[in-house]
Amino acid sequence: MNWTDLNLIPAMPEIVLLSALGIVLLVDLWTSDKNRNLTHILSLLTLVVTAATQWMVWMPQSVSTFSGMYIADGMSQLSKMVMYAAMFAMFIYAKPYNQSRKIFNGEFYILALFALTGMSVMVSAGHFLTAYIGLELLSLSLYAMIALRRDSGNAAEAALKYFVLGALASGLLLYGISMVYGATGSLEFASVLASAHEGQSNIWLLRLGLVFIVVAVAFKLGAVPFHMWVPDVYQGAPTSVATFVGTAPKVAAVVFAFRILETGLGTVSQDWAPMLAILAVVSLLVGNLAAIMQTNIKRMLAYSTISHMGFILLAFMAGAVGFTAGLYYAIAYVVMGLVGFGVLMLLSNEALECEEVSDLAGLNQRNAWYAFLMLLTMFSMAGIPPLMGFYAKFAVIKTLLEQGYVWLSVFAVVMSLIGAFYYLRVVKVMYFDKNTHEEPLGSNFFAKALLSVNALLLLVWGVMPQSVMNWCVQALKSTL
């Protein structure tokens, strides 16, 4: 490679992020616990500067560099901006919660920023190895974040389970990648696609590798039957970490799946589409039925996540157009997840960990605004108009109908109706059950203000969904 010809401009956001991350790490080493706010502020500034850099180097058309291993296009740039915004909000919400749990330390911010770097590499990958490196950087950071509360046995158990299952999924992904290389002689997505399209690949070996890759993708999305880690991680991890696990990585996983399945293995879509259909149906069924039985709201949200991932997998079946609906759904889920977990963090204090559905009893009597914000979230997740979650489900079902998947569309509607039960149960507990808690509620002004804006976006983007959908459409156009 002639390094003088290397174009670093497309990768400038990652370069800025990694440089700023190094500065935060060094500053945190010399910062005492009393001055930990400095790490918090520097982390927020890192996200702002990285987002501004991304805005300044925005590429209207797809551009590749590092010998085709890195791609800057609409899909990657939009997903990165969503991830930056989600992490900014998560840092704001998590601060009072982490302070009360004595985990307000530099490790939380450093690991989160390393995970963001991994996600950024994932969504811009033009090569299987680049995608794998980004995925592993994200996964290793999450393993450590989940076990951040060293005095919690549940956190340690959840981290260990996630580590063991994650290592297995990574091994399966590598095994599938090796088969793809054996079948096509390349690991670059464009070359793999061209080789398969021109009939120059070993189609049976490629299909076998595809099976292992789909399993790994399903694990990262938390689809059934590779969902075992999701409820344990959501329940065992601190709520601030569960917020992170349940939001930004979902967008990265959707774009990761798009890179591999559409831009890399699109010529064998007739093989991976049926597999995704089975995973989607089972995820919707198991996720919704298991969520009904949960009394722990974090486990309930975990199983609801599994059902939401089922919707996203259904969207993938419609090909390139379906990925637009899938990306919109992922963005909607990030907005909903941030509000839901944000309210749980504000309701938690040193004496109470708000994680049971019963902990929300009589919330309307204690704080009507918090109850309203959680109501917006539950209604949106249930798919009730005119909230953002309704249009997300509508977009997926509409795409399925246009592609002729009538029975899958009917099944998705039925599962949405079943899922509405446990969301409405939370609303019933908040508004009609008797208040049994006298503990003071969270009073962080910035967290409450940002959470209110976050929740109102569910209503605004539900009434005017085309603004976000147009972003997704334009992102896909500049990618393909």
Rounded Cα–Cα distance for residues 266 and 24 (Å):
41
pLDDT attached to residue 2: 52
Contacts of 479 (CB under 8 A, 6+ apart): 62, 73, 74, 75, 76, 263
What pLDDT, on the 0 to 100 scale, is given for residue 83?
94
In this prediction, residue 443 carries a pLDDT of 64
Is pLDDT of 4 > 60? no
Torsion of CA 254, 94, 300, 161, to 10 degrees: 70
Angstrom distance (rounded) from CA 313 to CA 335: 19
Distances (CA, A) of 429 to 257, 291, 292, 442: 37, 16, 14, 20
6-39: pLDDT as tens digits: 778 888 999 999 999 999 999 988 887 777 888 8
Mean pLDDT of 417-445: 82
In our burial notation (b when 16+ CB lie closer than 10 A, e otherwise), range 364-375 reads: bebbeebbbbbb
pLDDT given at position 123: 92
Record the pTM. 0.92
pLDDT for 265 equals: 78
Task: Report the length, in residues, of the chain.
Answer: 480
pLDDT in tens, 214-273: 888 888 888 888 888 888 889 888 889 999 998 989 999 889 888 888 887 767 767 788
Residue 411, C-beta contacts closer than 8 angstroms, at least 6 positions apart: 281, 284
Please give the mean pLDDT across all residues of the chain.
87
Give Cβ neighbours of residue 273 (< 8 Å, ≥ 6 apart): 316, 317
Give the pLDDT confidence score for residue 338 in this predicted structure: 93
DSSP for 363-394, please give it: HHHH-HHHHHHHHHHHHHHHT-TTSHHHHHHH
What is the share, in percent, of the chain residues with pLDDT greater than 70? 97
Percent of the chain predicted with pLDDT > 90? 36
**Residue 70 pLDDT exceeds 60:** yes
- Under the banding of pLDDT at 50, 70 and 90, the label for residue 441 is low
Calculate helix-pair angle for 74-100, 248-257, nearest 10 degrees.
Answer: 150
Is-cis flag, bond preceding 225, omega within 30?
yes
> Tens of pLDDT along 113-153?
999 999 999 999 888 999 999 999 999 999 999 988 887 78
Most confident by average pLDDT, 188-197, 201-210, 389-398: 389-398
Residue 440 pLDDT more than 70?
no
Domain residue ranges in the chain? 9-478
Looking at residue 203, its pLDDT comes to 83
Mean pLDDT (whole number) for 383-400: 90
Q: What is the pLDDT of residue 438?
A: 67
Contact status, residue 392 vs residue 307, Cβ threshold 8 Å: no
